[in-house]
Amino acid sequence: MFFFNGQADDVGSRNRTVTKPSRPSCTAMSLTVLPCFFICKDWKITMNKTEIFEQLKALSAAHAAEQPLPSIWTHEIGKPLIGQIKGFSNFQHSRYGLQDTVIVELESGEWVSAILTDYLVEGMQRQNAKINDFVLIELLGKDLSRSGNAFNKFSLQVVKI
């Protein structure tokens, strides 16, 4: 089933009833296995139990076939992160709070997640880093701030495609 402007277009032999929400509070995700899947409690899609299980099994299979979670890149002097940006994310760290990350595909095809410092976040914004651009992140060593605090000094280069 495909949805267009809140209307159902059943491309199969089964009919489903779709009720459009009263307010635009839904998020649509396009999936490779399912043509379109809506996450919203306001949308009411009536299907029989077998159809619901079939769709959930297909969704589960799609998730299982996806790229596994990327490993975490650990910054070391002389071991730069070089690759193609595949996404941006963040997570809540128990000690440091909200941490921004970039997901990068290495030349080998492996995906890694790099935690971004404030300097790297600002640099990504200044260089307008987007998905599919290439990036070089390199740890140059430790440095001291004007207030005397030690910090990791990085070099960042974004190559736009």
CATH of the domain at 111: 2.40.50
105 lies in the same domain as 55: no
Q: What is the helix, strand, coil percentage profile of the chain, to 5? A: 15, 45, 40
- pLDDT per position as a tens digit, 11-37: 443 444 444 444 444 444 433 334 444
Q: What is the pLDDT of residue 1?
A: 39
Of the residues 65, 83, 115, which one is the last residue of a structural domain?
A: 65
Of the residues 65, 91, 113, which one is the last residue of a structural domain?
A: 65
102 lies in the same domain as 34: no
| CA 91 – CA 70 distance, rounded (Å) | 14
39 lies in the same domain as 91: no
Find the mean pLDDT for residues 51-62: 79
- pLDDT per position as a tens digit, 76-93: 999 999 999 999 999 999
* Domain region containing 20: 2-65
The answer for residues whose C-beta is within 8 angstroms of residue 113's C-beta and 6 or more apart is 70, 71, 72, 73, 89, 101, 102, 103, 104
78 lies in the same domain as 52: no
pTM of the entire structure? 0.59
- pLDDT per position as a tens digit, 90-149: 999 999 999 999 999 999 999 999 999 999 999 999 999 999 999 999 999 999 999 999
Q: What is the pLDDT of residue 18?
A: 43
154 lies in the same domain as 76: yes
> For the chain, how many structural domains are there in total?
2
| CA 131 – CA 87 distance, rounded (Å) | 6
Mean pLDDT of the chain: 78
What is the CA angle 136-139-141, rounded to 5?
155
The answer for residues whose C-beta is within 8 angstroms of residue 62's C-beta and 6 or more apart is 31, 32, 33, 34
